[in-house]
Amino acid sequence: MNKGRILVVEDDLDISNMLRIYFDSQGYEVLVAARGGDALELCRKKLPHVVVLDIMLPDMDGYEVCKKLRSNLRTSHIPIMFLTQKDERTDKIAGLELGADDYITKPFDIEELKFRIQNAVARTTRESLTNPVTGLPSGKLIEEQLRLLMRKDGWAILYIALRDFGSFNEVYGFVAGDDVLRFTAMLIGEAVDELGIPDDFIGHTAANDFVVITTARRAQAIKGKATDRFATEVGTFYNFKHREQGYITVQDTDRHEKQVPLMTLAVGVITQDDGPFADIREITERAAEARREDK
């Protein structure tokens, strides 16, 4: 079972390989970057649940990487652990002031690091800060961004769901379902990267629901890109027979067989012009209604 995604930012190959092998054996997906710029790019493409970050890097120091992650709306919530040779009090304070969550010095105890990572991932999940499958912001972080909308102009919301995801889970199981959720999070992120702006927000609200907060003039393009790519690539999650026939067979509540089409994205788009809205509840209700009407 995938326990989460760790990004190790370390230019010492011996250390990064050791961490990759160890945490892979513990059930984590491990990404490795030797440079700060590569780490920032990986965070945009495959959002990690936690970042283990060395301070001394060849292109920029870990403090700069931390600062950039914390200043970007899409990565500001990710727990960051500094891993470094430095053990001076001033170095630790500098990292914590930038928003790092923890600090461990080399040489380190791998078991201690494991438990610190476990606790960081568990804390963000327990506090409804991130979705445990995709690592995207959830619960409180989404509500916080929706409240900020009330003071902005020109915004748009995409409320996204996977049609027939429940039937897919029934046939293929929850492990395959989690793979689909991670794929969906990735393609939404790539659509926003290509067509949106750095301050756009992506959240995973619950189950198979996602939300994107962007600008009104970019919303439809992001919707088109995400839905087209999903329709093109979702077949890879089905077996050959189901891909060819274009549906799967499940039983309804009366135990009658019914045909369910391959999954598609349903996307509701609302903008500030669809208001006025008195509170975020009205915004989410209108977005849900728009999604139900999406064909």
CATH number at residue 92: 3.40.50.2300
SS3 253: coil
Contact 138, 211 (CB under 8 A): no
pLDDT tens per residue across span 213-245: 999 999 999 999 999 999 999 999 999 999 999
Q: State how far the Cα of 44 lies from the Cα of 220, in Å rounded to an integer.
A: 21
Whether residue 80 lies inside any domain: the answer is yes
pLDDT at 6 exceeding the cut of 70: yes
pLDDT at 88 exceeding the cut of 70: no
If one compares 72 and 50, the residue with the highest pLDDT of the two is: 50
CATH number of the domain within which 191 lies: 3.30.70.270
pTM over 0.75: yes
Q: Of the candidates 70, 92, 126, which is a domain's last residue?
A: 126
Whether residue 161 lies inside any domain: the answer is yes
Q: State how far the Cα of 116 lies from the Cα of 81, in Å rounded to an integer.
A: 9
Q: State how far the Cα of 44 lies from the Cα of 38, in Å rounded to an integer.
A: 10
Do 36 and 178 sit in the same domain of this protein?
no
**With bands split at pLDDT 50, 70 and 90, how would you rate the model's confidence at 1?**
low
Helices (H), 72-138: 89-97, 110-126
**pLDDT, the chain, mean:** 91
pLDDT at 68 exceeding the cut of 80: yes
| Kind and range of the H or E run holding 258 | strand 257-261
Count of structural domains, the chain: 2
pLDDT at 87 exceeding the cut of 80: no
Domain span at 19? 5-126
Do 158 and 289 sit in the same domain of this protein?
yes
Mean per-residue pLDDT, 103-126: 87
